[in-house]
């Protein structure tokens, strides 16, 4: 694939990072989040909130890097390969963890099941694409 298409793909992926963040704000998973969170001891509650903020910030940073530095990421300098590798590991990790979370029983509508499928597909595609950029021949 020519570099110009890779640059476009990385920029689109960067934009979709923000689509994912936006949709995450409206996703009803897990159910009764506020009630369940309130039942936790304060330290566990803070860990859960901090983890969600950290994941959101990571997605935002990776999206910004992809939007702003797409040509650099595709060019394949060592730092660009490292950023692509970290991005691939992040999304690959998400693809691995999502099924483990066991959310299928609470995906009560076809739209939620479809959205979950898209999220898993997004994780796999990002892991593969950024992984290729990290390790492709020079």
Q: How confident is residue 37, by pLDDT bands cut at 50, 70 and 90?
A: confident
Which are the contacts of 9, defined by CB distance < 8 A and separation ≥ 6?
129
Per-domain boundaries in the chain: 3-135
Kindly tell me the burial class for residue 17, based on how many C-beta atoms sit within 10 Å of its own C-beta (0-12, 13-18, 19 or more): buried
Q: How confident is residue 38, by pLDDT bands cut at 50, 70 and 90?
A: confident
Taking only the tens place, the pLDDT of each residue in 65-78 is: 999 999 999 999 99
Query: Hey, what's the torsion of the CAs at 53, 57, 59, 63, to 10 degrees?
Result: 160
Kindly tell me the burial class for residue 107, based on how many C-beta atoms sit within 10 Å of its own C-beta (0-12, 13-18, 19 or more): middle
Q: Are 15 and 63 in contact (CB under 8 A)?
A: yes
Which are the contacts of 48, defined by CB distance < 8 A and separation ≥ 6?
37, 40
Most confident of 36-45, 76-85, 110-119: 76-85
3-class secondary-structure state, position 61? helix
3-class secondary-structure state, position 9? helix
Mean pLDDT estimate for the chain: 92
| Residue 138: predicted pLDDT | 76
């Amino acid at each position: 694939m020519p570099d110009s298409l890779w640059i476009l793909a990385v920029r689109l992926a960067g934009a979709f990072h923000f689509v994912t963040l936006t949709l995450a704000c409206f996703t009803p998973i897990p159910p009764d989040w506020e009630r369940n969170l309130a039942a936790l001891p304060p330290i566990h509650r803070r860990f859960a909130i901090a983890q969600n903020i950290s994941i959101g910030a990571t997605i935002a940073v990776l999206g910004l890097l992809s939007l702003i530095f797409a040509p650099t990421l595709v060019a394949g300098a060592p730092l660009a390969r490292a950023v692509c590798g970290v991005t691939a590991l992040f999304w690959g990790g998400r693809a691995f963890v999502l099924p483990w979370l066991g959310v299928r029983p609470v995906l009560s509508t076809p739209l939620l099941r479809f959205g979950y499928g898209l999220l898993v597909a997004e994780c796999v595609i990002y892991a593969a694409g950024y992984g290729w950029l990290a390790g492709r021949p020079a």
